[in-house]
Amino acid sequence: MDVTAWHVLYLFWLAAGAMDFLLHRASSIESTSGLKESTLHLAQIAILGAATLLWLSFRASQPLFVILLALMCLHAITGYWDTRVAYPTRAIRPLEQHIHSVLDLAPWIAIGAFYWSLPDTHAVAGLVFEPAPIAMWLFAIVPTLLLTVLPALVEFRRCLAYRA
């Protein structure tokens, strides 16, 4: 798959995240599962944010793959916990369930793509700091801030205000 297709898939994933926050707002998350669920959303974003920063900062290698894989597992566990918190108190409608499917699968697709991009040699024993070009940093971070981080913070603020 070429780079442009990966860019489109990445933006699709982020758009799914933005849509999820709109659905949370429509279901009045602040008056149902509230701060606990919203905190888990921030945790999931932080986990994937850490993975993204590592991916942008280090050369593709087996050690980096193992770290990223561990973060994907932690994200999946946190996602399950998030759903367990939400389910008893908030209706998770079919559209939101389908959006969660995209949000759940995208990190695994990304880690698979990363694995297949690894060099054939196993010469790199550790992490080698080799930052990606600035354009890649901007493409990875700016849309993320606008489409997921900002909506998550707005949601968290609404939950805090409702709790007070």
Position 1 scores a pLDDT of: 63
Cα 148 → chain centroid: 8
Collect all residues with Cβ–Cβ distance below 8 Å to 48 and sequence separation of at least 6: 71, 75, 107
Which long-range contacts does 132-139 make (Cβ < 8 Å, 24+ apart)? 132/55, 132/56, 132/57, 136/56, 137/56, 139/7, 139/10
Q: Helix crossing, 94-116 with 62-86: angle to 10°?
A: 170
Position 91 scores a pLDDT of: 87
Collect all residues with Cβ–Cβ distance below 8 Å to 91 and sequence separation of at least 6: 27
Position 140 scores a pLDDT of: 95
Position 119 scores a pLDDT of: 76
* 64 and 55 Cβ atoms separated by less than 8 Å: yes
Enter the pTM of the model.
0.92
Residue 95 and residue 23: Cα distance in Å, rounded? Answer: 9
Position 124 scores a pLDDT of: 62
Residue 65 and residue 63: Cα distance in Å, rounded? Answer: 5
Query: How crowded is residue 155: how many other Cβ atoms within 10 Å of its Cβ?
Result: 23
* Angle (CA) 82 144 154, round 5°: 60
Residue 129: phi and psi, rounded to 5, are -70, 115
Q: Identify the bridge partners of residue 129 per DSSP, sorted by sequence position.
A: 58
Position 37 scores a pLDDT of: 97
Q: How many CA atoms lie within 13 A of 137 on its CB side?
A: 10
Please give the chain's pLDDT, 164 residues, in tens. 677 888 899 999 999 999 999 999 999 999 999 999 999 999 999 999 999 999 999 998 889 999 999 999 999 999 999 999 998 998 899 999 999 999 999 999 999 888 888 877 656 678 999 999 999 999 999 999 999 999 999 999 999 999 99
